[in-house]
Amino acid sequence: MSRAVAIHKFGGTSLGDASRIRNAARLLAAARRRRPVVAVASAMGGVTDVLLQAARDAERGRIGLARKAVDALKARHAAAARELGVRFEEAPLRELSAALEGVSLLRERTARVTDLVSSFGERLSSPLLAAVLAKAGVPARAVDARDILVTDDRHGAATCDRKRSDPRVRRKLKPILAAGILPVVTGFIARSVKGETTTLGRSGSDTTAALLGAALSAHEVVIWTDVDGVLSADPRLVRGARLLPRLSYREAAEMTYFGAKVLHFPAVLPAIAEGIPLVIRNSFRPEIRGTTIAAKGDGTKGIHAVTAVPGMCLLSLDGRGMTGVPGIAARVFSATARLGVSVVMFSQASSEQNIALVIPEGDRARTVAALEQEFRWERLTGSIDSVNARAPIAVVAAVGEGMRGTPGIAAKVFAAVARAKVNVESIAQGSSECNISFAVDGKDWVRAVRALHRVVSI
Ligand code: ASP
Ligand code: MG
């Protein structure tokens, strides 16, 4: 294989029915004119949920419901196949029924059997897509990812063993590609070292695409979904939100962290680790180029996007006695870590008389209790006055490559917020240099986001 391949992954809505599948086949046929393509198929939209519900029903002995679900799945796929004029391979459904009958009989649903049951969505969709391609004159072959991806046995959220898997991926797919055939690989599913079916976690088809991209040193991994790409702000909040043509990995990571649903980041780490560009595109509007997320962003410095996470609580520890006492911040973090509470933002004044941290509002009571307990001695002796909590607050973040190194950006951010008459409660500048985040009162955050978006430059 001389030319680098592209991986094209289709999510559930992009394979939702016959016309969507036909559309996906069309996009694949077009992509293949430019370079060799490997397709990754998710289950048809909603199918994984149906399968998981059927497994739960079977466990409770409601086998009638589980059987109905299988019938409905069969009808849905058969109808799509009929409309597309291809054969529908029913064999997997017999295995699914047997698994569900077993669960119902034993009234026991292990993580292992849950994975087996939830694997059928992709096992049904991939052959369908391959058949449609073949019918349209594009030689294609369905590939079961369990033949190429080996994982640990953490059923439900297994991790791929790339050392074992990468050579298998290459051994299996390269000859298929060399023969001019387009492999259509099942997303989401894999197998454990013991040979059992595993899944890579919900939305795991993105992971499959990233893994195949990494193993094949792909030119790019294209993620076909139902949005145009990554926008400069949530369009439900900001009317002028714009499509971002290009983002760096770090910018995208910051945006995801601060509430934007860009991509499930951990899912695509294998591709990021190899520096492979990820392209997010809308299968409903393929004329739009989407967003490319790559090692380098668009090369411009400035604010590229605004995101926010509402529903947060601002905790602060105040007291003169903290000055020069080492380990206070560490104790705060170990307390939150023990509770498993995620700290969205943290700041410490250089006078060391105040520490502020932002956590989800729902974790407020137990975090306050834990910090009061942790610093009970300091509170008794008066070196820490109190643990204060304020909610609801929101963390608003301005994201853009090279922000910290560029003079005047922070001024721009806070001038915009001040113009909107929003009071800033606490500020943190991400160490990644590509975000400035701050906490505002829960009633002000939408205004802050809108005001800040006016100074976005793309
Ligand atoms: N079908 C799986 C899910 O619904 C995987 C995916 O769609 O990426 O989570
Ligand atoms: Mg998905």
Give pLDDT tens digits for 39-78. Answer: 999 999 999 999 999 999 999 999 999 999 999 999 999 9
Q: CA–CA separation, 195 vs 149, rounded Å?
A: 11
* HSE-CB for 231 with a 13 A CA cutoff: 16
- φ, ψ at 157 (rounded to 5°): -155, 55
Q: Whose CA is nearest to atom 6 of ligand 1?
A: 203
Count the neighbouring beta carbons within 10 Å of the beta carbon of residue 403: 25
Ligand 1 pocket residue status of 12, Cβ below 6 Å: yes
Give pLDDT tens digits for 97-123. Answer: 999 999 999 999 999 999 999 999 999
The SS3 call for residue 5 is coil
Does the structure show a pLDDT above 90 at 15?
yes
In degrees, rounded to 5, the angle at the alpha carbon of residue 262 between the alpha carbons of residues 173 and 344 is 125
pTM equals: 0.89
The SS3 call for residue 431 is coil
Question: Smallest Cα–Cα separation from 193: which of 146, 147, 159, 150?
Answer: 150
Query: Of 271-285, 329-343, 406-420, which has the strongest mean pLDDT?
Result: 271-285
Among all ligands shown, which has an atom nearest to the Cα of 46?
1
Please give the full DSSP string across 314-333, using - where no structure is assigned: EEEEE-GGGTT-TTHHHHHH
User: Using an 8 Å Cβ cutoff, are 446 and 392 in contact?
Assistant: no
Q: CA–CA separation, 386 vs 369, rounded Å?
A: 12
Q: Provide the pLDDT for residue 345.
A: 86
- Measure CA 84 to chain center: 31
Pocket test of ligand 1: the residue of 53, 188, 211 to mutate, having most ligand atoms within 8 Å of its CB, is: 188
User: Using an 8 Å Cβ cutoff, are 151 and 161 in contact?
Assistant: yes
Ligand 1 atom closest to residue 207's alpha carbon, by position in its atom list = 8
Quick one: what percent of the chain has pLDDT higher than 90? 78
Q: Whose CA is nearest to atom 8 of ligand 1?
A: 203
Among all ligands shown, which has an atom nearest to the Cα of 119?
1
In this prediction, residue 1 has a pLDDT band, given cuts at 50, 70 and 90, of: very low
Please report the domains of the chain, with CATH numbers, ordered by start residue: 6-225 (3.40.1160.10), 305-456 (3.30.2130.10)
Q: CA–CA separation, 134 vs 87, rounded Å?
A: 11
Does the structure show a pLDDT above 80 at 429?
no
Q: CA–CA separation, 34 vs 274, rounded Å?
A: 22
User: Using an 8 Å Cβ cutoff, are 277 and 293 in contact?
Assistant: yes
Helix axes of 120-135 and 111-118: crossing angle, nearest 10 degrees:
20
User: Using an 8 Å Cβ cutoff, are 130 and 67 in contact?
Assistant: no
Ligand 1 pocket residue status of 204, Cβ below 6 Å: yes
Helix axes of 18-32 and 63-84: crossing angle, nearest 10 degrees:
50
Q: Reply yes or no: is the peptide bond before residue 392 cis, omega within 30 of 0.
A: yes
Q: Which residue has the tokens 């695409």?
A: 209
Among all ligands shown, which has an atom nearest to the Cα of 267?
1
In this prediction, residue 91 has a pLDDT band, given cuts at 50, 70 and 90, of: very high
Beta strands in 177-323 (DSSP E): 182-186, 189-192, 197-199, 220-225, 246-248, 278-282, 291-294, 305-318
- φ, ψ at 431 (rounded to 5°): -70, -15
Ligand 1 pocket residue status of 45, Cβ below 6 Å: no
* Residues paired with residue 142 on neighbouring β-strands, in sequence order: 184
Does the structure show a pLDDT above 90 at 406?
no
Residue 4 DSSP class? P
Give pLDDT tens digits for 145-200. Answer: 999 999 999 999 999 999 999 999 999 999 999 999 999 999 999 999 999 999 99
The dihedral sign for the CA sequence 7, 12, 17, 20: negative
Question: Smallest Cα–Cα separation from 21: which of 97, 101, 83?
Answer: 83
Q: To the nearest whole number, what is the mean pLDDT of the chain?
A: 93
Q: CA–CA separation, 158 vs 191, rounded Å?
A: 9
Q: CA–CA separation, 186 vs 35, rounded Å?
A: 21
In this prediction, residue 404 has a pLDDT band, given cuts at 50, 70 and 90, of: low
- Report the run of H or E that residue 253 belongs to, with start and end: helix 249-257
User: What protein residues have CB closer than 5 angstroms to ion ligand 2?
Assistant: 11, 203
**What are 2's two structure tokens?**
């001389």
In this prediction, residue 435 has a pLDDT band, given cuts at 50, 70 and 90, of: confident
User: Using an 8 Å Cβ cutoff, are 198 and 189 in contact?
Assistant: yes
